Amino acid sequence: MTIMTSRSLHDADPAALRRRRRDRIVTVVLVGAVALAVMPLVMILFEVVRRGVGAMSWEFLTSVQPFSQRRPGGGYLHGLVGTLYMVAIASLLSVPLGIGAATFVVEYGQSRLSPLIRFFTDVMTGVPSIFVGLFIYSVVVQGRIGFSTLAGALALSLLMLPIVARSAEEVLRLVPDDLRNAAYGLGAHRWQVVTRVVWPAASNGLVTGAMLAVARAAGETAPLLLTALGAFEIVTRLVGEAQTALPLLIYSEARGPYEAAHARAWAGALELMLLVLILTIAARALSRRTTRNGNG
Q: Strand locations in 138-260, DSSP E?
A: none
Residues 189/107, Cβ–Cβ less than 8 Å: no
Separation CA 18–CA 34 (nearest Å): 24
Residue 13 backbone dihedrals phi, psi, to 5 degrees? -75, 120
Written as one letter, the residue type at 4 is M
Written as one letter, the residue type at 288 is R
Please tell me whether residue 147 adopts helix, strand or coil conformation: coil
Tell me the pLDDT band of 14, cut-offs 50, 70 and 90: confident
8: pLDDT strictly greater than 60:
no
Residue pLDDT, tens place only, 81-120: 999 999 999 999 999 999 999 999 998 877 788 888 888 8
Q: Where does 77-246 sit in CATH, by number? A: 1.10.3720.10
28: pLDDT strictly greater than 80:
yes
284: pLDDT strictly greater than 80:
no
Enumerate the β-bridge partners of residue 243: 229
Q: What's the confidence (pLDDT) of residue 11?
A: 56
Least confident of 57-66, 164-173, 287-296: 287-296
Residue pLDDT, tens place only, 181-213: 999 998 999 899 999 999 999 988 898 899 989
Closest CA to 283 of 229, 206, 225, 221: 206
pTM as predicted: 0.87
Would you kindly state where each structural domain of the chain is located, as residue ranges?
Answer: 77-246
Least confident of 207-216, 221-230, 244-253: 207-216
Enumerate the β-bridge partners of residue 229: 243
Indicate the average pLDDT of the chain. 89
Residue pLDDT, tens place only, 118-132: 888 989 988 999 999
What is 90-139 written as a DSSP string? HHHHHHHHHHHHHHHHHHTTTSTHHHHHHHHHHHHHTS-HHHHHHHHIII
